Amino acid sequence: MGKLKLDLHNIYSDGRKIEESLERIIAEAVKKRITEVEIIPGKGSGQLKKSVLRFLERPEIKKLYHRLEKDDKNFGRIFVRFRF
């Protein structure tokens, strides 16, 4: 049981860095058997959130986690839930 957090505010304009960060945190969650990853793309135009969701929908990534939740109260957060 545990939680990881990834805030993308600082690298929002660097697509490669964003992808590397997402890959790294998902891999870390799997390795350490973390049950929740919170990703904060921020509010902005919504483009970053869309690209994060596209990344998470890739078949090779999607098979690693259990489900996704979007925070209705705070538009800028995505929770990736894992089940081990």
Distance spanning both ends of the chain, measured CA to CA: 9
* Fold of the CATH domain 3-81: Ribosomal Protein S8; Chain: A, domain 1 (3.30.1370)
Residues 6+ apart with CB under 8 A from 40: 5, 6, 7, 8, 9, 76, 77, 78
pTM of the complete model: 0.89
Q: How confident is the model at residue 47 (pLDDT cuts 50, 70, 90)?
A: confident
Q: What is the number of H-type helices and E-type strands within the chain?
A: 3, 4
Q: Where are the domains of the chain?
A: 3-81
Mean pLDDT, range 5-10, rounded to an integer: 91
Q: Which residue has the higher pLDDT, 43 or 34?
A: 34
Check residue 75 and give its pLDDT: 65
pLDDT of res. 41: 87
Task: Answer yes or no: are the C-beta atoms of 36 and 5 closer than 8 Å.
Answer: no
State yes or no: pLDDT of 28 exceeds 90.
yes
Find the mean pLDDT for residues 31-51. Answer: 88
Contact (Cβ atoms closer than 8 angstroms) between residue 4 and residue 37: yes
Give the per-residue pLDDT at 68: 95
